[in-house]
Structure 1
Amino acid sequence: MIDGAYLRHALKRAMACALLAPALAGTFALLATLVLSLPDEPIAANILDRPDVLLSRRADNGRVIDADTECIGLSVGMSGGAPVRAGETAFARAMAPRSAYGCEPFLAFLETGDPYEIREYFRYWHGHLVVTRPALSVLAYNDLRGLTFTACVLLLGAATWRIGRDFGAAAGLAFVLPFFVLNALGYWVVATKATTFALAVGACLAFSRRGDRPAPLVAYFALGSLTAFFDFLTAPALIFCLPTIVWVMYRRRGAAAAGGADGKADRNADWRVDWRDVIALGAFWTAGYAGLWAAKIAIAAMVIGPAAWADAMGQAAFRIRGESDLVDAYWPGLALYRNVAALKSLWAPVAIGLFVAAPLIRADARAGLVSIWRRGRLPLALAAAPLAFLELLSNHAQIHAAFTHLNFAPICFLAGLALFGRTAPLLLPEGKPAKPANAVPASE
């Protein structure tokens, strides 16, 4: 299914992305510079309005909060009591920012001015600062949590409503239920996690109306770039895979409608076309993600020297198989086990009962699982990819298991569709599909 016409189509999109990349990098750099140019004093005062809120490791509903990562994120770009680098500009401060490590030293600095141990934190764009610093310039930190919570609830509600309207209420329930079981609520109240959640669910909304169009290659390049900007290595694979599953559902629904009752006449019903397009989407997303992340390190190296590359490579190796007092072993599957175990005494049994036991016990749900295996392998592969990400970054996934387990959401979504008897949107039509046409539309 990869012929000359499709290659020319993809090449045109790649050229457009090559032109877009410098504009995105420049925009990200400008945004980071602008928000780090805001004065620290009102931000510090608003963080200290309720320090107990920031120090709390659990929300009022009992779900775990990644407080230390939030403190690290909030401290990015602040002085920390360290001397300013000679000739440092606002741009240099934004491209090679410093941070604290944990809440206690950060809050001690805000309260007493005691300097903390500085960490160079240039490996990320820290896009969350675009949300936190302007908001904290005028709002107390507790109010910022209210804003992120409300925004995430509205986005999730809109995505659930749209999927429920188009595929049935049970499909909407299957989409939303994993987020409550897998501690999405712990994401909603901390900006360093809420930005990841909002990007993933917002992309589901954005691509749910593109299933009847050619693969949105440039849009996925932009999504990868936004992932590099906003995500704090929490769930980048989720940001790609979950919206793509939704896109495939709408693609197959559109194919069935265009092809008649059995859906076999339309080119989109051919499994090779779906795989080809999703692989292309993955390539463009990866180019946006890896390219913009590499661009950030390259800019930081211009500020603090080539040692930035060595540090970045060392940190990448640490997150894969680095030595840590918090990680005992790297057996295959151990990262997945740690993430399930991190759900603790209540939610782990709920997750296993809802998304493993119940689909296996009910005969019709088992039939749904079999149909996914036979005719829905593309969505299944997309749902499994975030789990492979956890295994690849085993050190990181084990240390942060209480938060990275949101990567189970896509596979739980598929299990929920089987449980509620709504697997049809995932599946290819039965029987031998029609041979697809090779023509590629001129535009996306």
Structure 2
Amino acid sequence: MKFNNIKKQSTRLATIYISMMVVFVLIMACSYKIPNKRINWHVSESIQQLKTEGIYPRSFFNTASSQLDNFTDAWMLNISISADNKHPLKSSLQVPHRVAQKQGEDNIDKIRNLELSLDKKNIKTTSSYSRYWHGYLGILRPLLIFFSYTEIRFMNMCALFMLFIVVNSLIKKKLGTKVMISFFISMMMVMFPIVTMSLQFSSMFYVTFISMIVVLLYHRKIEENKLAICLFFIIGSMTSFLDLLTAPLISLGIPLVTYILLIQNNEIKQNSRIAINNISSKYIADNIIEVIKNSIMWGLGYGMTWASKWVIASIVLKQNVITDALNQMLVRTSDPGGDTAFTVNSVIKATTSVMFTDFTLKIVIALLIIGIIAMILCRKHTNEIITITPILLIALMPFVWYIILKNHSQVHCWFTYRNLSITLYAVFAFISYSIDTKKITSALYLR
């Protein structure tokens, strides 16, 4: 029976994987088939907005955490106008972008390069970025037929805020106000409003929020039919398809914390208080297995999808994309030595210092003190708290990521720091879940 289940799950995962690769290739090829004419026109409309703001503008606060990435957004627009409509499959796998230059101008930035690239006379050469899928182009290029960058950014803000509201509402309904506040705080601490203003940052939050909605609405069916490994495999695959290595881990950590809390709630509701006295050892083991198993499946979905792009591109383009990708991986995980040292301490210090300014650190410390005091005075049954401790393992995930990808995480700490939202959510959710609201209510009522 166990062998049959493994065989069934393996077949299901293989079908999902092959289907997703086919869909991803088709999405990219179809988006590259769209004629460039109207796209070029709307991109040209967008130049002034980018020029006014500059490469790395800061909003709300003059801190690295509130910095937009117009550098990459301009580059994404450059890729959007560089498609070869006559060879959409090859072009979508090669992902060309224009390198422009005008007489007397050297070392121009990405925005100026984009502006010059609109005139083919200024194009000096083309380069490619074939090691990523660039799945966002499947959405961005169709939108650019009708809208400018400024208009797309506004729609992006509306869509992400709407999803954010939906997720918060569902968390409140399924897990209570305390956990909802934990999620809200974790998002605000990584400057969620800033995310909505940058296309580069947005992909991961779409994947995360939509995954959260699926988990919150269908967690019972997912658990009963043992679909969690498939779900997290799909989430990992979608992350690899859409993201440019911004903060991919949030699409694993935040939905996984939520899923563990939900299945914990299900178990508690199905058992009496007497039963809870005897379930800690079994349920803590089950929850640890869920964390490990689903993390592995997310990693497989992420890694296999990324590697598949290298293989498919190498075959179709007859170029060694695999070697280029592996070389870049070595760079991103290496310590170059010299004056710039990427150590475990330096990368953790760089990322945490972006998130925890003097102001935000005071807020987090105050909330932790209040939460811990409330947990000590009005905690739930000890066994119930023990069984949920595996979510604290999830809180450690960003630090493991930073240790592996030291180079990339430190160089780009002003956006890779957003992986730390997992740590905040897991810690605050653990504390808030451990607080017995009924005891607080009773104490207030007696007064």
| Cα distance in structure 1, aligned partners of 2:397 and 2:125 | 37
Cα offsets for 1:256-282 (capped at 9, x unmatched): 001123553779961112222332222
Structure 1 gap ranges (5+):
426-444
| Cα distance in structure 2, aligned partners of 1:17 and 1:259 | 33
Distance 1:417 1:382, change over 3 A: closer
Any residues of structure 2 matched to 1:103-122 within 5 Å, and which? 103-110=111-118, 113-115=121-123, 118-122=126-130
Verify the 8 A CA contact 2:237 2:302 in the aligned structure 1: yes
Q: CA deviation at 1:26?
A: 0.8
The two structures have a TM-score, normalised by structure 1, of 0.83
What SS is found at the alignment partner of 2:45? coil
Distance 1:235 1:75, change over 3 A: same
Distance 1:415 1:222, change over 3 A: closer
Q: CA deviation at 1:196?
A: 1.1
The two structures have a TM-score, normalised by structure 2, of 0.83
The residue aligned with 1:152 is 160
Verify the 8 A CA contact 1:148 1:189 in the aligned structure 2: yes
What SS is found at the alignment partner of 1:377? coil
Any residues of structure 2 matched to 1:300-339 within 5 Å, and which? 300-321=313-334, 323=336, 328-339=340-351
Q: CA deviation at 1:110?
A: 2.0
Verify the 8 A CA contact 1:360 1:366 in the aligned structure 2: no
| Cα distance in structure 2, aligned partners of 1:45 and 1:108 | 14
The residue aligned with 2:97 is 99
| Cα distance in structure 2, aligned partners of 1:267 and 1:251 | 14
| Cα distance in structure 2, aligned partners of 1:218 and 1:199 | 15
What SS is found at the alignment partner of 1:124? coil
Cα offsets for 1:361-383 (capped at 9, x unmatched): 76516748xx8995543111112
The answer to whether 1:19 aligns with 2:27 is: no
Q: CA deviation at 1:97?
A: 1.2
Specify which of 180, 193, 198 is matched with residue 190 of structure 1.
198
The residue aligned with 1:282 is 295
Q: Give the residue type in structure 1 aligned to 2:434.
A: T
The residue aligned with 1:430 is none
| Cα distance in structure 1, aligned partners of 2:207 and 2:19 | 20
The residue aligned with 2:215 is 207
Q: Give the residue type in structure 2 aligned to 1:58.
A: P
The answer to whether 1:351 aligns with 2:354 is: no
| Identical aligned residues as a percent | 17
Distance 1:322 1:144, change over 3 A: farther
The residue aligned with 2:373 is 364
What SS is found at the alignment partner of 1:328? coil
Q: CA deviation at 1:41?
A: 2.5
244-253 vs 387-396, greater mean Cα deviation: 387-396
The residue aligned with 2:445 is none
The residue aligned with 2:442 is none
Distance 1:106 1:268, change over 3 A: farther
Q: CA deviation at 1:58?
A: 2.7
Q: CA deviation at 1:116?
A: 5.0
| Cα distance in structure 1, aligned partners of 2:316 and 2:235 | 27
Verify the 8 A CA contact 1:98 1:120 in the aligned structure 2: yes
Structure that is richer in helix per residue: 2
| Cα distance in structure 2, aligned partners of 1:88 and 1:381 | 50
Distance 1:44 1:124, change over 3 A: same
| Cα distance in structure 1, aligned partners of 2:87 and 2:244 | 25
Q: CA deviation at 1:414?
A: 3.2
Cα offsets for 1:178-217 (capped at 9, x unmatched): 2122122222122232111110121111112344424422
Q: Give the residue type in structure 2 aligned to 1:331.
A: T
Specify which of 2, 22, 42 is matched with residue 38 of structure 2.
42
The residue aligned with 1:125 is 133
Higher relative contact order structure (alpha carbons within 8 Å, sequence separation ≥ 6): 1
Distance 1:363 1:281, change over 3 A: closer
What SS is found at the alignment partner of 1:219? helix
Q: CA deviation at 1:247?
A: 0.2
Q: How many residue pairs are counted as aligned between the two chains?
A: 410
Verify the 8 A CA contact 1:263 1:269 in the aligned structure 2: no
Distance 1:240 1:49, change over 3 A: same
Q: Give the residue type in structure 2 aligned to 1:154.
A: M
Q: CA deviation at 1:170?
A: 2.8
What SS is found at the alignment partner of 1:227? helix
Specify which of 143, 154, 164 is matched with residue 151 of structure 2.
143
| Cα distance in structure 2, aligned partners of 1:262 and 1:52 | 67
Verify the 8 A CA contact 1:210 1:247 in the aligned structure 2: no
The answer to whether 1:406 aligns with 2:418 is: yes
Distance 1:168 1:35, change over 3 A: same
Q: Give the residue type in structure 2 aligned to 1:96.
A: Q
| Cα distance in structure 2, aligned partners of 1:287 and 1:363 | 36
Q: Give the residue type in structure 2 aligned to 1:223.
A: I
Q: Once superposed, what is the RMSD of the aligned Cα atoms?
A: 3.0
Verify the 8 A CA contact 2:43 2:144 in the aligned structure 1: yes
The residue aligned with 1:383 is 395
53-62 vs 398-407, greater mean Cα deviation: 53-62
